[in-house]
Amino acid sequence: MRAELGYCSLLLLLLTIDVWGQQTRPRARPKPPATKKPPKKEPEPKEPTDFPPVIFGPPSSFSDCPRECLCPPSYPNALYCENRNLRKVPVIPPRTHYLYLQNNYIDSVTADAFDNATELKWINLGNNRIRSIEKQVFEKLPNLLHLYAQRNQLKEVPSNLPAGLEQLRLSRNQISKIAPGAFNKMEHLALLDLHHNKISDSNLAKNLFKDLKNLIQLNLAHNILRKMPANIPTSIAQLFLDRNNIEDIPPDYFKDFTKLAFVRLNYNQLSDKGVPKMVFNISTLLDLHLAHNNLNTVPLFNLHLEHLHLNNNNIESINGTEICPSAPSMDPYDLDSMPRLRYLRLDGNHMNPPIPIDVIMCFRHLQSVMI
């Protein structure tokens, strides 16, 4: 306890000195006259020329610890450099496995900082101003598993990504360019998050996802797609496509998926015409989101579906007999064989309560319906 207090006050002292140092640093500005005029107000920092000063870390027992970072003695493989107003990546010590650089002002990532950091497994570069990542960076990082670079200003997917990568987060950038081979050989990639970019149909090359044999989650929400993305790995369990301009789904689109459990298509342009009758009759599907589209009827679904979001469409009625998925044995006393739907949203359509009796008769597991 005492040691911690001592450390804290030392940190405080260092920070105070640093702030004081910044304020008294001479500036290339004419000195104010030595009269007793009130001091001129400092102009607000104007980006990108004037960022707030870099915040230095506490003294470290590691001689290779960058001054801007925290190197906790108990985690020699972690390097914490987040929230320090950094403009560039410090030189990364070779012992680093986990690197935290989020919430800074870094605008490019050059290879030199990673010269000896060949052991890196995780890098978090989220919420910076990165426009470019030199491709030589990744040549030096064969062990990289997680790369997080969400909330930056990237216009394209970085090239030369390591083949062993398991998670890639590039959401909230301005990506509109993806090289056709950007994800080649990435057999271990489980999560690919590209939501909130500027990706259109033509940016997705035909075989872009072909090598992603172990992909579990693909997030392409909040882009400018008009079609369902083609050739998505059939290993996928979670497909998120909310907030695009998708109008239709090809009839056999989900045919070969064997693990698909979560599909989100909220805020698109789907109408009855664009949704083939059987397209969502997928036996693995648990959770289906179709809110904020232009549907007039409830699409058919499988008896394993548990959550269905149909709010804010143009649905006028629901016929429980027509949509009731037939179970292998419709034994009314065998609840396990009954359709599994538990949660149903129908609010924001052209319907009023009560919930039709045939809906209640079919879906015995229903716990919550919003109408």
Based on CB atoms, which residue is closest to ligand NAG, 282 or 290?
A: 282
Q: Does the protein bind ligand NAG through residue 319 (CB under 6 A)?
A: yes
Candidate segments 5-13, 118-126, 253-261, 319-327, binder of ligand NAG by CB under 6 A? 319-327
Q: How far is the CB of 111 from ligand NAG (least distance, A)?
A: 10
Based on CB atoms, which residue is closest to ligand NAG, 85 or 319?
A: 319
- 144-147, Cβ contacts within 8 angstroms, sequence gap of 24 or more: 144/120, 145/121, 146/121, 146/122, 147/123
Regarding beta strands 78-80 and 307-309, do their DSSP bridges make them parallel or antiparallel, or are they unpaired? unpaired
Q: Does the protein bind ligand NAG through residue 159 (CB under 6 A)?
A: no
Choosing from 8, 12, 19, 91, the residue that interacts with ligand NAG (CB under 6 A) is 91
* Residue 288 exposed, middle or buried by CB count within 10 Å (0-12, 13-18, 19+): buried
Q: How far is the CB of 191 from ligand NAG (least distance, A)?
A: 28
Based on CB atoms, which residue is closest to ligand NAG, 110 or 321?
A: 321
Nearest residue to 151 via CA among 184, 106, 183, 112: 106
Q: State how far the Cα of 225 lies from the Cα of 203, in Å rounded to an integer.
A: 9
> Site mask, ligand NAG, residues 111-140, x = CB under 6 A?
----xx------------------------
**Assign residue 34 a region: left if phi > 0, alpha if psi is -120 to 50, beta otherwise?**
alpha
- Reading the block at residue 30, the tokens are 């004419």
Choosing from 252, 322, 331, 334, the residue that interacts with ligand NAG (CB under 6 A) is 322
HSE, side-chain direction, 13 A CA sphere, residue 76: 6
Choosing from 78, 179, 224, 300, the residue that interacts with ligand NAG (CB under 6 A) is 300
Site residue total, ligand NAG (CB under 6 A) = 11
User: Distance of CA 99 to CAs 52, 231, 246, Å?
Assistant: 22, 34, 38
Q: How far is the CB of 93 from ligand NAG (least distance, A)?
A: 8
Q: Which residue's structure tokens are 């469409």? A: 313
Candidate segments 138-146, 166-174, 218-226, 314-322, binder of ligand NAG by CB under 6 A? 314-322
> Site mask, ligand NAG, residues 263-292, x = CB under 6 A?
---------------x--x-x---------
- Which DSSP string corresponds to 36-71? -PPPPPPPPPPTTT-PPPPPPPPP-S-TT--TTSB-
Candidate segments 47-55, 213-221, 236-244, 316-324, binder of ligand NAG by CB under 6 A? 316-324
Q: How far is the CB of 74 from ligand NAG (least distance, A)?
A: 24
- Reading the block at residue 36, the tokens are 């007793």
Choosing from 96, 127, 171, 302, the residue that interacts with ligand NAG (CB under 6 A) is 302
Question: What is the number of other CB atoms lying within 10 angstroms of the CB of residue 2?
Answer: 6
Q: How far is CA 199 from the centre of its chain?
A: 15
- For residue 99, what are the β-bridge partners? 79, 123
* Widest CA span in the chain: 95
Candidate segments 121-129, 166-174, 246-254, 317-325, binder of ligand NAG by CB under 6 A? 317-325
Q: How far is the CB of 296 from ligand NAG (least distance, A)?
A: 15
Q: How far is the CB of 99 from ligand NAG (least distance, A)?
A: 14
Nearest residue to 314 via CA among 344, 269, 281, 359: 269
Choosing from 321, 350, 360, 364, the residue that interacts with ligand NAG (CB under 6 A) is 321
Q: Does the protein bind ligand NAG through residue 12 (CB under 6 A)?
A: no
Q: How far is the CB of 350 from ligand NAG (least distance, A)?
A: 15
End-to-end CA distance of the chain: 56
User: Residue numbers of the site for ligand NAG (CB under 6 A)?
Assistant: 91, 115-116, 278, 281, 283, 300, 302, 319, 321-322
